[in-house]
Amino acid sequence: MQNRMMITGAGSGLGREIALRWAREGWRLALSDVSEPGLVETLKLVRAAGGDGFTQRCDVRDYSQLTAFAQACEEKLGGIDIIVNNAGVASGGFFSELSLEDWDWQIAINLMGVVKGCKAFLPLLEKSRGKIINIASMAALMQGPAMSNYNVAKAGVVALSESLLVELAQQEIGVHVVCPSFFQTNLLDSFRGPTPAMKAQVGKLLESSPISAADIADYIYQQVAQGQFMILPHEQGRMAWALKQKNPQLLYDEMTVMADKMRAKARQNLN
């Protein structure tokens, strides 16, 4: 039976909703997060939805914690069929404002956390001929202004996924990468940036989104079943990506205008 899934960042938001979507199909879930209270709540909801599993606190920056988590999956579930590298943090700020510490923090979690997750679980996936689902972002494809460290980390997740898609095909391991746009989530809880105004702007975008984390989880479920590699849950995101492929300069021009507007707004807030 292929019904064992591991999820990082499962204590809230999209990670929790992915757990619930697969739980409704009766899957057994290995849930990890840095928030233990969040994990307890997710497991309770998973059981109510018809699934089961276990929780283990795990910081994706620490490879030894991920290998211990993989070992726990082998001991408690007999292996793993799908891994979901979902743990992530938000950040923003113009390049000139971001410190090198901001860059290190962002890359360590959003990019290297995914690399380490794939590495730690690869032996189990080779046995089960399983699947990897990496959660990136539309930021990986569109590179909006005032979020260069986030853009770079998420673009790295897409590049890693493309590399694995090709390299792991022979072992019959499926690879998927998800690039959601803004959606209703608690991503701001982890937000790090040089200005409170930036956090407020991102908050408005998250709140105004018509799409929820549950909607995205459902879309991922359907697209993975269809074998789709690049999963773009937002219709606007799919349109923007098509536009960029056709006429990248047009998109760069739009982003430049957006950057100017953001700077003007930041100046207004200072005055």
Residues assigned a catalytic role: 150
How many CB atoms are closer than 10 A to CB 120?
A: 23
Q: In what order do the strands lie in the sheet with 4-7?
A: 52-57, 28-33, 4-7, 82-85, 131-135, 174-178, 230-231
Q: Mark residue 46 as left, alpha or beta (left: phi above 0; alpha: psi -120 to 50; beta: remaining).
A: alpha
Structure tokens at 223: 């697209």
Largest CA distance in the chain: 62
**Per DSSP, what are the bridge partners of residue 184?**
212
Q: How far is Cα 234 from Cα 167, in angstroms, rounded to an integer?
A: 28
The SS3 of residue 94 is: coil
Those residues with Cβ within 8 angstroms of residue 192's Cβ, 6 or more apart along the chain or in another chain? 89, 90, 91, 102, 105, 106
CA 240, distance to chain mean position in Å, is 19
Structure tokens at 18: 């992915």
Tokens 């990986």 found at? 140
